Structure 1
Amino acid sequence: MAVGWRAALATVEVWTGIEVKALRKAKRMSIEAFAAHLGISDRMVSKWESRGADITPRPVNQAALDTSLAASGPEVHERFVRLTGTSDAVLSDQRAETEHALPRQHQITHPGDGKRMALVEAGVFLAGPEKRPIWLPDFYIDVFPVTNSDFSRFVAATGHPAPRHWPKGKCPDSLFDHPVVFVTWHDATAYALWAGKVLPTSQQWEKAARGPRGDAHPWGDQPTPAKCNSRESGIGRTTPVSRFHSGVSAYGVYDLCGNTWEWCSDESEPGRRELKAGAFTSPFARATPSAFNDADATMFDDDTGFRCCFVEGQPA
């Protein structure tokens, strides 16, 4: 699969109602859809847009808007810059990357399962609690964990057994956008093979979560449980994979902290495989991307899922 483009990104120093409206229009979303996308009320969006430059959203909403813009494709960025015109709030990608030293985001749609994947560019990253410098080549990783909807297409195409929590083997509509669970390492590997991908190594997974600088969490070094679905959230179940906009990594990847544990390809000892991410059942401290966890490859539970990886030129 050849990929030739690089997305030119814009960032916003301080969001006002002007930039909010421009982003909504750039994403071609209604006020109701945009509000649901951000996880806020449509009244709030209407208020921001009506007051324009006279209102500044709260920091938590600023972060959600940052994430929404960063995760958008190049066509949205281009429309957003045109709609904001010469707004002093908007920075070019070159200036923003110089100031914040964050990776440039670039995403593709994989032809195997149609999922969005983010490029994690080759280079050194700081791994583990001790921040060891490790070099990894380019790879792509799923922006979102494999959902029940994704897995249902795999089940329909291959006849693979459905997860045990699907009534009569059918995925409930209410869980379509939740990460699939009750999958063993072997189930995850079978899906990856069907999709033309592989499970990520623990180092690939960790770099996607921590960025090249070895941040403690996907969003930075601040311990902020509200940015993910861990035990502290009190939700007590999986959540839609796109819910925690302010918790994405520097590469625009979601749910790398909390929601569900995710299988990796590494064998920690015979018959056991590594897990990353923590889960809604785990305390926030266990969701640290550098933390080690493993389980028997035949284990399946209501808090364990996976995502896939892809390396150009490498067979699945």
Structure 2
Amino acid sequence: MFDHLVSPPVLAPLDDAAYAERLRELEAALAARSDSRELLSLLCDWTSGHRDWNVRRIAVETLAARFVKEAEAREAICAATHDDVDWVAFTAIKAAGEHRLPEAVEHMIRISGWPSNFSRPAYTRKPVGCGAAFTKKALWEFFGTRDPGALRALEDKHFAEKHAAVAAARREPDLRDVVTVPAGPFIAGANVQEAGPFQTDDTDNPLRVVDLPAFCVDRTAVTNARYKEFLLEAAPGGEFAHPDEPLDKDHTPAHWRDPRCNAPELPAIGVDWYDAYAFARWAGGRLPSEDEWEKAARGTDARTYPWGNTWDPDKARCVFGAYGREEIRDLEELEELLVRTTRAWPPEPVLPADALPDGASPYGALNMAGNVWEITRTNFFTRANMAPFFKGRKNPEFMNRPEGFHVLRGGTWTSPPVCLTTFYLGKDLLTDRHNEVGFRCAYDAPVQ
């Protein structure tokens, strides 16, 4: 319709004066065109897809002036508040405030924060630029006041329907079999000076004090019986799935048909980070952070193993019990044993999730040393919560990216005791599914 005026190949050769004149021609042509669905659709497409930012800006202005009653136009204006070029975003923000677009409030709060906060006289913040200033003004215009108390009431009213929908969709936490970890500080990490015969490196978990609020954690790793409930109820790619999970994701564990691993009482293994994430949401909880996991495993006295400071082979499933060995002297001997592993041997690698009660942690959590590694929500390299962005990409495209690796804790049935300490860190690619890896969930502690 207007390609002869503003298509990228037409605009690119123009000098500044000719470019400005061409924009004026576009504005005149738009003004002469009568309102229509065709024009509305074109302008909406331009706001998000045109390569020239001034064309996007003019499209936003035109939508606000002529089509603001149309839901499609309001949606395009809201999206434009996040444009990567400042004056497109500013134009959309100003339009949202002047026309008091309710759909834009959530977008603007993401930019500048809650108006009831920044309107308080004593509220401290960094000096703002144009974008934040425009956004603050637009939010004040929408709510019609600058009084922080009145703003808070209006915010609650504006988002009441959304809050109710979120509350209705929220799963009640599955606290059938959990232990409570009380609030307070604990000693995390370790000061390991020697690599030892297994060439371990524990320098990535330095000694420190961490203060955590109270929380609950599953007493055992998630079992096959419990995971089956999830598979029967949660649709693939449904409401519990992480938005980044692979396309056509199937949450069925990889070893679901392995008779050595699929008994109801055994830990669910052969799951990846996305599987564990979805299950935790379905269960009304979350994957534990590495700090939550470590406190649940060791308590507050910095113990080396969940049961104390002395290794005891009868309190944890590790490489000795799984392979029927009494001693493995070094890394070379360990690896010589592991490469003999087959799909049938060892015949009983994993114990039931509630086995070995004498190896419980100070809070009563079982098998936090050995049996299966346990997935956390912590990124191995950044120590922040996992925030993957790999959807639609294959493993080789991100297997060397730090964002793709989460922390594993606790060691597993193929591990020597040095990997079963409360402070040892493993890592895994978030799409890998191993018969050595399971998980348990954490939950907010019930309000007393």
TM-score in terms of structure 2 length:
0.43
Structure 1 residues 279 and 162, CA, compared in 2 at 3 Å: closer, same or farther?
same
AA aligned opposite 1:241:
A
Structure 1 residues 174 and 313, CA, compared in 2 at 3 Å: closer, same or farther?
closer
AA aligned opposite 1:282:
S
Residue 182 (structure 1) aligns with: 270
Task: Report how far residue 234 of structure 1 moved.
Answer: 3.1
Q: Which residues of 2 match residues 110-125 of structure 1 at below 5 A?
A: 112-113=173-174, 115-125=176-186
Task: Report how far residue 312 of structure 1 moved.
Answer: 3.9
Structure 1 residues 300 and 180, CA, compared in 2 at 3 Å: closer, same or farther?
same
Q: 1:20-52 CA distances to partner (integer Å, 9 max, x unpaired)?
A: xxxxxxxxxxxxxxxxxxxxxxxxxxxxxxxxx
Task: Report how far residue 313 of structure 1 moved.
Answer: 7.7
Q: Which residues of 2 match residues 6-25 of structure 1 at below 5 A?
A: none
Q: Do the aligned partners of 1:113 and 1:150 also contact (CA within 8 Å) in 2? A: no
Residue 166 (structure 1) aligns with: 256
Q: Do the aligned partners of 2:410 and 2:422 also contact (CA within 8 Å) in 1? A: yes
Q: Which residues of 2 match residues 1-316 of structure 1 at below 5 A?
A: 112-113=173-174, 115-130=176-191, 131-160=207-236, 161-167=251-257, 175-234=263-322, 236=346, 237-268=349-380, 269-312=402-445
Q: Do the aligned partners of 1:148 and 1:171 also contact (CA within 8 Å) in 2? A: no
In 2, Cα distance between the equivalents of 1:246 and 1:187? 30
More helix by share: 2
Task: Report how far residue 172 of structure 1 moved.
Answer: 8.9
Moved more, 178-187 or 228-237: 228-237
In 2, Cα distance between the equivalents of 1:277 and 1:214? 15
Q: Do the aligned partners of 1:149 and 1:171 also contact (CA within 8 Å) in 2? A: no
More strand by share: 1
TM-score in terms of structure 1 length:
0.60
Task: Report how far residue 166 of structure 1 moved.
Answer: 2.1
Task: Report how far residue 171 of structure 1 moved.
Answer: 8.9
Count of aligned positions: 203
Q: Do the aligned partners of 1:166 and 1:172 also contact (CA within 8 Å) in 2? A: no
In 1, Cα distance between the equivalents of 2:175 and 2:291? 24
Structure 1 residues 313 and 119, CA, compared in 2 at 3 Å: closer, same or farther?
closer
Q: Do the aligned partners of 2:174 and 2:285 also contact (CA within 8 Å) in 1? A: no
Which consecutive unaligned segments of at least 5 residues does structure 1 have? 1-109
Structure of greater relative contact order (alpha carbons < 8 Å, 6+ residues apart): 1
Structure 1 residues 240 and 251, CA, compared in 2 at 3 Å: closer, same or farther?
same
Q: 1:262-312 CA distances to partner (integer Å, 9 max, x unpaired)?
A: 000001231110000100011111111201111110111001010000114
Which consecutive unaligned segments of at least 5 residues does structure 2 have? 1-170, 192-206, 237-250, 324-345, 381-401
AA aligned opposite 1:301:
H
Identity %: 32
In 1, Cα distance between the equivalents of 2:175 and 2:365? 16
